[in-house]
Amino acid sequence: MRTVAVLGPIPRDRIVTHRGEVFEKYGCALYTVAALSALMEPTDRICPVVHVRKQDEAAIKDLLAPMPNVDLTGIRSDTDRGDVVQLTYEDQNTRREAQTGFMSPILPRDVEFALDAEAFVCVPITDYEVGQATLEYIRANSDGVILLDGHGPVSTLTLGGERQHRLWAERDAWLPSVDILKMNLEEAGCSWFPREGDDGAAAMGQPMTEEEMPRFAEHCLRHGVQAVCVTLDEEGCVAYRLDGDGNLEEHVVPRIPVEHVVDTTGCGDSFAAGMAFGYLFGRDIVKACQYGNAMGAQRCAGSELSIYLPRAETDAQIERTYGPMAGAARA
């Protein structure tokens, strides 16, 4: 039996797609949990760790109740605070974000029941929700792999509740408590600030360029991270790690095609689920990225939680796309 913990909000989302369609539903960590539930065995244990509003607790638990491997212990409403979010898409990948409800932060005491987990998948959407102290506590008290989605540390709230990018200036204090760092190009750009006078210093906060990615990844890897993955929207992702001699490896993992994109909300959260699952088997970062791409592709093909495929069908989808020998390293 495997145990995986998922740390992050389950917000009440109102989503306006780039086609003008409107969805109202719960999101974020809910997608991560549902994707993991589809991949893992019924005897496994998935532990969402989240604070929600009392008015949302029953509905969220009802959505998760059909998933036999989900442990509802960590869904708590004692503070009666949870995220409420408005997402308005300008195109398939660009959106405006506003937040009117604010989850209580996840503290060390909230994760104590799940410290036996083999992986901790952290998918915060704003900077305060899963803090550095909580990751340090997990690192000190568990042997589980810690995956951090960089969306949280580089996103903050204005006085009006609008969510905006911020520089992750305290990045290096976090890195020793992270095993896998997953970000998109915009988030990576908010996390890379060369010294004044160095090439690239003038571009702080802009989407990361292809030339900057290896420098950024190597910096993170030499500060304690085991793997860095940067997602590239429709182009798949690129992952980095150090080989046995300490040299940087780059792995480009193309996307899994989707015939009709319905809703891209939660693709990153689903990718994180697949990546954590794949990494648990042999610590293979390429296989982890393939699972990440598969779960992201499944997510955007529909709007319901039932869109995720079981493990055997996901394996077949991966083999059709990449073949059995895909993912050779590029030094």
pLDDT value at 173 more than 90: yes
pTM over the 0.85 mark? yes
Average pLDDT over residues 195-216: 73
- In angstroms, the CA 9 to CA 123 distance is 8
> Of the segments 19-23, 108-112, 257-261, 277-281, which one has the largest average pLDDT value?
108-112
In 79-131, which ranges are continuous DSSP H helix?
none
> Of the segments 15-29, 116-130, 247-261, which one has the largest average pLDDT value?
116-130
Cα distances from 55 to residues 52, 73, 124, 181, in angstroms, run: 8, 17, 21, 33
The residue among 217, 224, 279, 212 whose CA lies nearest residue 248 is 217
Under the banding of pLDDT at 50, 70 and 90, the label for residue 197 is: low
pLDDT at position 19 is 82
Strands of the chain, DSSP E: 3-7, 12-16, 22-26, 45-51, 75-76, 84-89, 95-101, 119-122, 145-149, 155-157, 163-165, 180-184, 227-231, 237-242, 248-253
pLDDT value at 330 more than 50: no
Burial class (CB in 10 A: 0-12, 13-18, 19+), 16: middle
- In angstroms, the CA 203 to CA 225 distance is 24
Lowest mean pLDDT among 7-11, 125-129, 208-212, 221-225: 208-212
Tens-place pLDDT, residues 43-87: 999 999 999 999 999 999 999 999 999 999 999 999 999 999 888
- In angstroms, the CA 156 to CA 187 distance is 12
- In angstroms, the CA 35 to CA 39 distance is 6
Neighbour-count burial for 248-270, b at 16+ CB within 10 Å, e otherwise: bbebebbbbebeebbbbbbbbbb
Average pLDDT over residues 4-31: 90
Query: Which structure tokens are listed for 252?
Result: 């480009």
